[in-house]
Chain A
C-alpha cells in the first residue's frame, strides 16, 4: 500500500511518539490513578511492539523500490552478522558504525529501517526475541535516523568535518542509547525496596537520581563508554571509505518516500 503523505506523516510521527511514551513509562506512572498504576508497565510493554508494527506497516510502501530494498537487505545482513559475532564481546557493538554511516549516506528513514531490521534479523538468527526486542529496534532505529538528520556540510575540509561530526554524534548516540534502554527497564531490573528502586510516589528529582545511579553502574560507565570508543575508532578508521562506498550506489533522491 502506498500512503499519501497526508496520512503517512502523522502516522509515522504517531508511531515514534507512541514508542517514546513506552520508553518513558516510569515518568507517566505517577500521573495515573493509584489503582491503575500496576498496569502501566504492562501497557508500556504492549505499546512498544504495537508502535514497531505500526511504523513498519506504514513505512513498508517506502521500501518498494528494488534498489532501496536490496541495499536495506544486504546491509541488514551485515549489521545482524556483526551483532551476532559481537555478542560474545559484550558492548563492543560495531553495529553503530554501520547504522550511523548508512543513515548519513541514505537518509533518516533508511537509517531507521536499517536499525529496526538489524535487530529483527539478529533476533531471528539467535532466537532472542523478548519484550525487549521492540525497544532495541527503536533505540537502534533512532541512532540510524539521527545520523540522517545531521546537517549537510560545505567547505574545503568538509570530508574531515563530516567524520568529526559523525564521531561526535556517535559518542552522544552511544550514551543516549544506553540511557533510554536502561530507563524503561530499570524498574524491572531492580524491583522494589532497594535504594535505587523506582518509586511511583516519589518526586521526579528523587527518581531521576536513583535512575542515574542505576544507569551509571549498569552501563554508562562500562558498556556505553566502550561502545562510544569503538564507534569513534570505527568511524575514524573506515568512515570516509565506507561512506564513499555507500554513496557510489546511488539511490534515487526520492527513493524513500
Chain B
C-alpha cells in the first residue's frame, strides 16, 4: 500500500505554485494589492456599474500588497503540497483489491478493481480501433468512440458472466444432490418477447429462434462433446446448463432441466457455483482480477472463505491444471493458451462435480490444444467430473469424448457412438470450386524491399511481392511471422520500400485515392463498424469513399447471395451491424473496405472465429472480389482455407517471405 512515486509530488508542487500565482493575479485585477511599501505600478481604480457597484478593479500595486497576497496564499498552497506528498506515498489501488475481498464496500471496490484492470487494455483497444478507422478512411470521432464503447460493453458483459458463474453476489449456496449431474428432457430454449432486434444483446439470436433438446443426460465421469456451426446454439446450450441463459441472457427455458438434481430455472448460476464450474468462450476478456492467483481464487473469495484456505485451494487447482508457475503473473501478460488454462483452473477451484467448457481450443496452437485435451480427459475419466465441451473442432476432442451431440436446424441430437465423426470444419467449406479466374499475369501490386521494424524487432525483412489481377494469394505462417505487419505496410506504406499499385506509388496517394488502390480488412474487422443499422453502415461507406449511392449495399447483398427486395435482404439491412452473424459481419467489413473499388484487396485472418458455413460465405465473397478483376491477398494460419481458395500460397517466417512471391516465379 505504501510506495513512493515522484509524479504526484511534482504535480502538487505545480498546483501549489499555480494557486499562489492565480491568487496574486486575482488580487491585482480586483484591487487587492495596495498595501504598505513602495508603489510599484500606479493603476487607476475602476469602479464597476451596478449590480457590481461594490467591486473595484485594478488600483495601485505595492510591494507590501504583493507580499501580503502571496503570504495569504501560503497556507492553502502548503495543504495542496501536503496532499501531494500523501498521494506520492500511498497507493490506493492496493486498497481496492483488499476491499473487493469482503466488507461493506466490496461492490464499489470490485468495480474499481475491474476498472483498474481495464485501463491498460484501453490503450491497445484505442490503437487497434484507430488503425481500423484509418484503414476505413473515416475521420469522425464516432468511428473511434463507437467501436471502443462496443468493445467496452462486450468486455463488461463477459466479466459479468464470468463473475456470475463463480458465485459473485450469491445470497446462499446450493449443494448438489447425488442425482445425475445433468438431466435435460424435452427442453426448448428460446429468447423472450423482449428480444426485439434493437434491444437484443451482442450476437443474440432474434425472436422466433428456438433450440430443442429432447434428451441430454450426462452421468458423472463422462466427457460429452457438443458440436455445431457458429450461431447454431452451442453457447446457448452451455448457458442453459450453467443457468446463464435464463438468469443472465434473459432467455426462456421450457421443459425439465435439472442440474445436480436442482431445477435450473429456479436457481441462478451464482448459487450453484459450488458444484458447477464454467469456462466461458474467450475467457481472457472476462478476467476480473489483477493477478493469476486472484483470478483463480475468485470463487472462494466471493464466497467469503478465509484467505489462507483460498490460497491453499488456488495452489491445488493450479497444480491440477499445471499453471503453478503462472500464479504470480499479471493476468494481462498471459498468452491465449495460458489464459484458457487459467480459466479452467478458476473453474476447478471449488472442486465442481460438473465442468462446462465453451470453445476451449479456439485460437490455440497445436501444443496448447493437446494439453487442454489431456486435461479434460483426465478430469472426466480419472477424477469423475462430468465434463461438457462445446467445440466445432470435433476431430481434436472426439478421441476422448464418451458421447457427442450435434446441433443442426435448431435441435440438439445425439450422434450414435461409433458413427463416423466427419470433420465438420472442413465439410462444406470445400464446396466451392477453386477460383475460376486463372491468373491473368497482369501485376496489380508490386511491392519491393518492404522493411518494417516494430519495437526494435524486425517484423518484415526486405519483402518483395507481386499480386496479379484476378488472383487470390495466401500468406501463411505461424503467429508473429510478420503477416499482419506486411499487409499493413502494403495498405499504409510508410516503412522502407516501395509499394506500387498499377504503377502508382501508394505512399504518395491521398486518403481517397489510396483507398481506391488498396483496401485492407484488419483482423478485428468489427472495429470498422460504427453505425446503428447495416443500411446506414453501407450508406456511410459510400459517402466516405465518394462512391455512387447503393454501391456498398449492393456488394454486401451480393456477397451473401441475398437479392435486394427480399425479406432476407430487408432483415440484413435493418439489423444492427453487430447483430449480424460473424460470417455476415466479416462480409460487411469486406464490402465496406471495397467501397472505393480498390483494385487490391488485403484481408488479415479472414476466417478467424468462423465455422465452416461462415467460412464458405467469406470464401465466396473473396472469389467474387477476385472475379471482378481485383488482386486479393489473405494472411491466414488456416492452411485448409488457404489451400482451398488460393492459387498461390506464400509461406512467411521470421519476417521473410518464402518462394513464389514474385511474378516471375508464377510464370515459371
Contact = CB atoms under 8 A, between A and B. Distances in A.
Contacts of A234: 141, 145
B134 interface: no
A249 B107 CA distance: 20
A127 B88 contact: yes
B108 A56 contact: yes
B463 interface: no
Contact of A77 (B73, B122, B288): B122
Contact of A209 (B52, B79, B84): B52
Contact of B155 (A74, A126, A192, A233): A74
Contact of A190 (B26, B92, B149, B576): B26
B22 A189 contact: yes
Interface stretch (B198-206, B400-408, B593-601): B198-206
Interface string A62-85: 111111011111111110110000
B6 to A, nearest CB: 10
B84 to A, nearest CB: 7
A217 to B, nearest CB: 7
Contacts of B54: 195, 202, 206, 209-210
Interface string B100-112: 0000111110111
A242 interface: yes
A205 B149 CA distance: 46
Given A62-B107, A131-B79, A196-B55, A241 B115 contact: no
A129 interface: yes
B200 to A, nearest CB: 7
Contact of A131 (B22, B83, B123, B200): B83
B503 interface: no
Contact of A73 (B32, B55, B73, B111): B111
A68 B76 CA distance: 39
B168 interface: yes
B28 to A, nearest CB: 9
A210 B270 CA distance: 57
B55 A237 contact: no
A226 B426 CA distance: 57
A194 interface: yes
B250 interface: yes
Interface of chain A: mostly helix, strand, loop or mixed: helix
B31 A250 contact: no
Contacts of A193: 27, 32, 68, 72
A38 interface: no
A81 B122 contact: yes
B519 to A, nearest CB: 23
B104 A57 contact: yes
Contacts of A128: 8, 11, 87
A76 B115 contact: yes
Contact of B108 (A60, A124, A188, A247): A60
B23 interface: yes
B80 interface: yes
B524 interface: no
Contacts of A69: 107, 110-111, 114, 160, 163, 168
Given A62-B107, A124-B92, A248 B169 contact: no
Contact of B7 (A70, A77, A127): A127
A191 B29 contact: no
Contacts of B149: 78, 242, 245-246
A79 B649 CA distance: 45
B105 A56 contact: yes
Which of A66, A78, A188, A246 has most B Cβ within 10 Å?
A66
Contact of B532 (A66, A75, A244): A244
Given A65-B169, A70-B163, A245-B149, A190 B23 contact: yes
B131 to A, nearest CB: 18
Interface in B142-190: 142, 145-146, 148-150, 152-153, 155-161, 163-164, 168-169
A125 B199 contact: no
B581 interface: no
Nearest to A239: B142
B51 A205 contact: yes
A151 interface: no
Contacts of A240: 532
B26 A194 contact: yes
B378 interface: no
A75 B107 contact: no
Interface residues of A, number: 68
B93 interface: yes
Which of A76, A124, A127, A191 has most B Cβ within 10 Å?
A127
B118 A73 contact: yes
B120 to A, nearest CB: 9
Given A64-B169, A127-B11, A237-B141, A71 B104 contact: no
Contacts of B12: 130
B104 A195 contact: no
B595 to A, nearest CB: 19
A236 to B, nearest CB: 10
Interface in A107-133: 113, 117, 120-121, 124-131
A39 interface: no
B69 to A, nearest CB: 7
Contacts of B565: none
Interface string B126-146: 000000000000001110011
A67 B110 CA distance: 12
A172 interface: no
B576 A73 contact: no
A32 interface: no
Given A78-B148, A130-B83, A191-B23, A246 B153 contact: yes
A213 interface: yes
Contacts of B578: 248
Interface in A45-103: 56-57, 60-67, 69-78, 80-81
Contacts of B202: 248-249
A8 interface: no
A26 to B, nearest CB: 16
B445 interface: no
A76 B198 CA distance: 25
Contact of A66 (B118, B153, B168, B530): B168
Contact of A241 (B11, B92, B142, B200): B142
B145 A71 contact: no
Contacts of B67: none
B311 interface: no
A241 B201 contact: no
A39 to B, nearest CB: 15
A66 B141 contact: no
B485 interface: no
A17 interface: no
A111 to B, nearest CB: 14
B115 A117 contact: yes
Contacts of B141: 233-234, 237-238
Contact of B159 (A1, A56, A70, A202): A70
Contacts of A76: 111-112, 114-115
A129 B87 contact: yes
B211 interface: no
Contacts of B288: 70
Top 5 A-B pairs ranked by shortest CB distance? A127-B8, A194-B32, A73-B114, A195-B30, A77-B118
Interface of A: 1, 56-57, 60-67, 69-78, 80-81, 113, 117, 120-121, 124-131, 188-197, 202, 205-206, 209-210, 213-214, 217, 233-234, 237-238, 240-242, 244-250, 252
Interface of B: 5, 7-8, 11-12, 19, 22-23, 26-27, 29-32, 48, 51-52, 54-57, 68-69, 72-73, 76, 79-80, 83-84, 86-88, 92-93, 104-108, 110-116, 118-119, 122-123, 140-142, 145-146, 148-150, 152-153, 155-161, 163-164, 168-169, 194, 198-202, 248, 250, 270, 288, 530-532, 576, 578
11 contacts: A56-B105, A57-B104, A73-B111, A77-B116, A121-B112, A129-B87, A193-B27, A206-B54, A210-B55, A237-B140, A248-B200
